[in-house]
Chain A
Amino acid sequence: MTIRKLLGGAAVAAMISGAAYAEDVEVLHWWTSGGEAAALNVLKDDLAGQGIGWVDMPVAGGGGEAAMTTLRARVTAGDAPTAVQMLGFDIKDWAAEGALGNLNAVAEAEGWDAVVPTALQNFSKHDGNWIAAPVNVHSTNWVWMNKAALDATGLGEPTTWEELVAVLDAMQANGITALGHGGQAWQDATIFDAVVLSLGDDFYKSAFIDLNPDALGGAQMVEAFDRMAKLRSYVDDNFSGRDWNLASAMVINGEAGMQMMGDWAKGEFLRADQVPGEDFVCIRFPGTQGSVTFNSDQFAMFDTGGDSPAQQAMAASVMNPSFQSAFNVVKGSVPARTDVPNDAFDACGKKGMADLADANANGRLHGSAAHGHANPAAVKNAIYDVVTAHFNGEFDSATAAEEMVNAVESAM
């Protein structure tokens, strides 16, 4: 009896409180920190100007893991949000489940095909239909250096692995932690991406995109793991579990010499009132110049049943060059379309945009394995497992290469 009452009451309450109105967009995302939220507010205000309400649905944690769990529950319940912040293969997986809407109308009207790099379209389109609006492109093969610490070594910006090792040795000799790093699986994997890429674009593609067992378990992979082990020796003892922004802070205040991290790290330097080129230096991971590994935040648009003008309008707003510029200046990333003027960006940002355009033109723009842009989540995590285990000393390099083959196979 009580239960029936409860259910009855609940149904009524649900009707009253209701889901979003027809003219609202409900946005599931994990951009909850000050800068990101401010950037999203630009989008929100833009939509408000068109009479579209914004129902905020933030779920932070684990680089979107918590949000993805929430999303799964929402979709299973038949109550998908309008737009969801999403990365790489997650988009493709959801598209394959047939859960996403269709943005072809707005994409055609605004000519997205011409301005979005092909490598990105891979993730924004499914079966030739636009399903997501890319917000930004992060490139992950950056190294952030403390300028003073670099100068103290008397060496220049390293461009090869050997030079990098020399700089790291010198920094260590100067009594600082040479490599600021946080021991979390995805951070380990971010470095590993760059290390693998530094052994050649073909090797990267063969290992991470094609998942070729010969590449995954071959001599080059052993070499990559050796390099990881070398890098591990420059990290302080207290690295395990450290958040990446704390590692950035170490570089900023001179405790550490450099950090290997995606371009979102730049935000930390800028917020600490550091100037690119004067206080800190941004370079591509030595040996990867001319190539870019990227990840791209996109708003995947879910099929909410029937046409949703608000959804289309939101997609258009996301792709608006002025939003792309405003958002990415704050976020440290570069715009997802190649025709956005670079005036508002700083030196590192300008370099990033130029690198992106080059790499795109030369076919050296690759999805980042560490950030789910090279293969599906299962494989990504299988790679994490091996990389992290090796970085924490569980495997030697040869075993790690063997394990890599097994792990990837068992995840397929």
Chain B
Amino acid sequence: MAHHSTEVDFKTKLQDWIPKLVLSPSVAMVLVFVYGFIIFTVYLSFTDSRMLPSYEMVGFANYDRLWGLRAWWTAIDNLFVFASLYIVICTIIGLTLAILLDQKIRGEGGLRPIYLYPMALSFIVTGTAWKWFLDPGIGLENTMHLWGWESFKFNWIKDRDYAIYTVVLAAVWQTSGFVMAMFLAGLRGIDNEILKAAQIDGASNWSLYRRIVIPLLRPAFLSAFVILSHLAIKSYDLVIALTGGGPGRATELPATFMYSYTFTRNQMGTGAASAVIMLTTIAAIMIPYLYAELKEKR
């Protein structure tokens, strides 16, 4: 028998450690800058922090206060309306466009960037254009009046009950193209033979999509849902640029609520409490997804 330690292969040992070593800065970064900060925020939500972090514990007082605030309830209601409409409409438009674009369309190469480009622009940039367009005094309504359609009315952005829908409209404009790209990628990944087989089986175009294609796009639906829902929860620029949370506070969302309590109202404790609620919501959506995603890959 040869000696076991004939060759202590240092390089081999190192090779075992290099991956972990190389990964560790990223992991450390995430642990500190994400999870450390989350813990910090949770901690803040139990303190009486106002302008700057303070370390005076007050228990659940901030949460009590938060759930007692009308504006917070408005924000939650709005988020519910906004998120459900936004996700559903984006998905429908994205899927429709993807399916239509997948019909061997001439000029696809030109149309695709047109659908995609809004995602490239920040709302800091396009907010003004949208505000104008939606403003009845100078925007669409005015233009229609100038063109002779006097009875045309489109004043949602000024209406407390409808303003949130203009936020949905602008948000859909911004991201539906991206959703289209995800679905298009999914469609292109489907094996053509399956489609041929279904046609030979006598499936009409409609039932082909409904019964075969759309079920096969499940992963794309899932990815779209996750991306859209987190964008919905994080939506901030959009509201600020479009309505500033108004009319009144009719378009307040949790993200704008949190920002204003933390930074402009000097009620950092309450702001932190609302952030914790938001994080919990995101976690409730993300963790099952992550779990499924990672388990499948094993």
Q: Nearest Cβ distance between residue A190 and chain B, in whole angstroms?
A: 15
Instruction: List B259-277 residues whose CB lies under 8 Å from chain A.
Output: 259-260, 263-267
Most chain A Cβ neighbours within 10 Å, of B246, B259, B260: B246
Would A391 and B248 count as touching, CB distance under 8 A? Answer: yes
Distance between Cα atoms of A3 and B244 in the complex (Å)? 39
Would B250 and A238 count as touching, CB distance under 8 A? Answer: no
Task: Tell which of B68, B136, B155, B247 touches A392, judged by Cβ atoms closer than 8 Å.
Answer: B247
Instruction: List A227-272 residues whose CB lies under 8 Å from chain B.
Output: 237-241
Q: Encode contact with A along B243-257: 1 for CB under 8 Å, 0 otherwise.
A: 110111110000000
**Contacts A3-B29, A93-B51, A410-B65 known; A241 to B263 CB distance under 8 Å?**
no
Distance between Cα atoms of A237 and B135 in the complex (Å)? 11
Distance between Cα atoms of A62 and B237 in the complex (Å)? 13
Query: Which residues of chain B come closer than 8 Å to A2, judged between CB atoms?
Result: 25
Would A76 and B52 count as touching, CB distance under 8 A? Answer: yes
Task: Tell which of B65, B71, B246 touches A241, judged by Cβ atoms closer than 8 Å.
Answer: B246
Would A394 and B160 count as touching, CB distance under 8 A? Answer: yes
Would B244 and A389 count as touching, CB distance under 8 A? Answer: no
Distance between Cα atoms of A239 and B265 in the complex (Å)? 25
Would B157 and A241 count as touching, CB distance under 8 A? Answer: yes
Q: Encode contact with B along A1-13: 1 for CB under 8 Å, 0 otherwise.
A: 1111000000000
Would B52 and A381 count as touching, CB distance under 8 A? Answer: no
Query: Which residues of chain B come closer than 8 Å to A3, judged between CB atoms?
Result: 25-26, 29
Closest partner residue, chain A, to B134 (CB atom): A241
Query: Which residues of chain B come closer than 8 Å to A72, judged between CB atoms?
Result: 51-52, 263
Would B68 and A238 count as touching, CB distance under 8 A? Answer: no
Would B264 and A241 count as touching, CB distance under 8 A? Answer: no
Would A388 and B264 count as touching, CB distance under 8 A? Answer: no
Would A240 and B158 count as touching, CB distance under 8 A? Answer: yes
**Contacts A385-B249, A392-B248, A392-B250 known; A69 to B243 CB distance under 8 Å?**
no
Q: Nearest Cβ distance between residue B48 and chain A, in whole angstroms?
A: 11
Task: Tell which of B51, B248, B264, B265 touches A97, judged by Cβ atoms closer than 8 Å.
Answer: B51
Q: Is there a chain B Cβ closer than 8 Å to A210's Cβ? A: no
Query: Which residues of chain A come closer than 8 Å to B230, judged between CB atoms?
Result: none
Q: Is there a chain B Cβ closer than 8 Å to A218's Cβ? A: no
Would B247 and A183 count as touching, CB distance under 8 A? Answer: yes
Query: Which residues of chain A come closer than 8 Å to B29, judged between CB atoms?
Result: 3
Would B52 and A97 count as touching, CB distance under 8 A? Answer: yes
**Contacts A94-B51, A238-B135, A238-B136 known; A184 to B264 CB distance under 8 Å?**
no
Q: Is there a chain A Cβ closer than 8 Å to B131's Cβ? A: yes
Closest partner residue, chain A, to B243 (CB atom): A241
Would A241 and B69 count as touching, CB distance under 8 A? Answer: no
Q: Is there a chain A Cβ closer than 8 Å to B22's Cβ? A: yes
Would A65 and B263 count as touching, CB distance under 8 A? Answer: yes
Would A4 and B65 count as touching, CB distance under 8 A? Answer: no
Q: Encode contact with B along A360-399: 1 for CB under 8 Å, 0 otherwise.
A: 0000000000000000111001000100110111100000
Query: Which residues of chain B come closer than 8 Å to A392, judged between CB atoms?
Result: 160, 246-248, 250
Would B246 and A378 count as touching, CB distance under 8 A? Answer: no
Query: Which residues of chain B come closer than 8 Å to A239, judged between CB atoms?
Result: 158
Would B244 and A237 count as touching, CB distance under 8 A? Answer: no
Tier of interface size on chain B: 35 or more
**Contacts A3-B29, A241-B131, A410-B68 known; A388 to B248 CB distance under 8 Å?**
yes
**Contacts A3-B29, A93-B266, A183-B247 known; A238 to B71 CB distance under 8 Å?**
no
Closest partner residue, chain B, to A389 (CB atom): B248
Q: Nearest Cβ distance between residue B257 and chain A, in whole angstroms?
A: 11
Q: Encode contact with B along A116-151: 1 for CB under 8 Å, 0 otherwise.
A: 000000000000000000000000000000000000
Q: Is there a chain A Cβ closer than 8 Å to B137's Cβ? A: yes
Q: Is there a chain B Cβ closer than 8 Å to A68's Cβ? A: yes
Would A65 and B22 count as touching, CB distance under 8 A? Answer: no
Q: Is there a chain B Cβ closer than 8 Å to A75's Cβ? A: yes
Query: Which residues of chain A come closer than 8 Å to B71, judged between CB atoms?
Result: 385
Would A410 and B157 count as touching, CB distance under 8 A? Answer: no
Would A69 and B263 count as touching, CB distance under 8 A? Answer: yes
Q: Is there a chain A Cβ closer than 8 Å to B234's Cβ? A: no
Q: Is there a chain B Cβ closer than 8 Å to A185's Cβ? A: yes
Instruction: List B163-211 residues whose CB lies under 8 Å from chain A.
Output: 163
Would B264 and A65 count as touching, CB distance under 8 A? Answer: yes
Q: Nearest Cβ distance between residue A15 and chain B, in whole angstroms?
A: 22
Instruction: List B205-246 residues whose CB lies under 8 Å from chain A.
Output: 243-244, 246
Q: Is there a chain B Cβ closer than 8 Å to A411's Cβ? A: yes
Task: Tell which of A240, A377, A381 touches B247, judged by Cβ atoms closer than 8 Å.
Answer: A240
Instruction: List A334-354 residues whose CB lies under 8 Å from chain B.
Output: none
Query: Which residues of chain B come closer than 8 Å to A97, judged between CB atoms?
Result: 51-52
Most chain A Cβ neighbours within 10 Å, of B157, B163, B267: B267
Closest partner residue, chain A, to B66 (CB atom): A410
Q: Is there a chain A Cβ closer than 8 Å to B50's Cβ? A: yes
Query: Which residues of chain B come closer than 8 Å to A93, judged between CB atoms?
Result: 50-51, 266
Distance between Cα atoms of A180 and B51 in the complex (Å)? 35
Distance between Cα atoms of A376 and B25 in the complex (Å)? 43
Would B131 and A394 count as touching, CB distance under 8 A? Answer: no
Would B267 and A411 count as touching, CB distance under 8 A? Answer: yes
27 A–B contacts from the bound complex (CB under 8 Å): A2-B25, A3-B29, A4-B25, A62-B244, A65-B263, A65-B264, A68-B264, A69-B264, A75-B52, A93-B51, A93-B266, A183-B247, A237-B136, A237-B155, A239-B158, A240-B163, A241-B243, A241-B246, A377-B265, A377-B266, A385-B71, A388-B249, A389-B249, A392-B246, A393-B160, A410-B68, A410-B69
- Chain B residues with CB under 8 Å of chain A are 22, 25-26, 29, 50-52, 65, 68-71, 131, 135-137, 155, 157-158, 160, 163, 243-244, 246-250, 259-260, 263-267
- Chain A residues with CB under 8 Å of chain B are 1-4, 62, 65, 68-69, 72, 75-76, 93-94, 97, 183-185, 237-241, 376-378, 381, 385, 388-389, 391-394, 410-411
Q: Add 5 more A-B contacts to A4-B25, A391-B248 (CB < 8 A).
A: A68-B264, A69-B259, A185-B246, A238-B137, A241-B135
